[in-house]
Structure 1
Amino acid sequence: MSGCPVEATVSVVGGKWKAVILWRLANGTKRFNELQRSISQITRKMLTEQLRELERDNLIIRDVYPEVPPKVEYSLSDYGRTFIPVMQAMAQWGLVHLEKTKER
């Protein structure tokens, strides 16, 4: 990493799905299938990979409950919650962008 703060951010939350997953979890704890249903285009494999990476980077917490069948829930960690204002700014910009592209 070059020391560029934008590069540091993108290295953790970049890509097509990570910010979307974090945005969904900002509204509360979700189970795997809930997340997958709320992100219609993501595959199970990709969601699994992205969740593992977000957990590795300490942005989310994975709670496994010893039940049959096993129950697994995902939520934002305290560190992950620090990203909420960034996502809110992204959402605001996204609304402006959608309006601008609708005008074309």
Structure 2
Amino acid sequence: MHTDNSSHLKEAIRHTEEAVRAIDAKTIAQHVEEAKKHATAAQSEKPEDDYIQEGLECLDDALQESQDDEADSARKAVDEALDKFYQAEQAAK
């Protein structure tokens, strides 16, 4: 069964957008975890996509910042991830 890569990317974007809007570090971390699951699935289906890889790296940074209770720094890293995922989405069109 073929899974639509774009649906995983869309879900990663949706959760990343939620993380940007989150108020506290704990909520950011929850959305980042969900975004990472979908971004990882998208990347496994399209491993040559550097934007997804770079977005995942930003999510890792965001997760670390949120675990350190640094909501502003985490949000900045999430915002960078979101830019990468938007670029991946545009490149796929």
Fold similarity call, TM over 0.5: no
Going by fraction, where is helix more abundant, 1 or 2? 2
- TM bucket normalised to smaller: 0.3 to 0.5
TM-score, normalisation: structure 2: 0.36
Determine which structure has more spread, i.e. the larger CA radius of gyration.
1
TM-score, normalisation: structure 1: 0.33
Going by fraction, where is strand more abundant, 1 or 2? 1
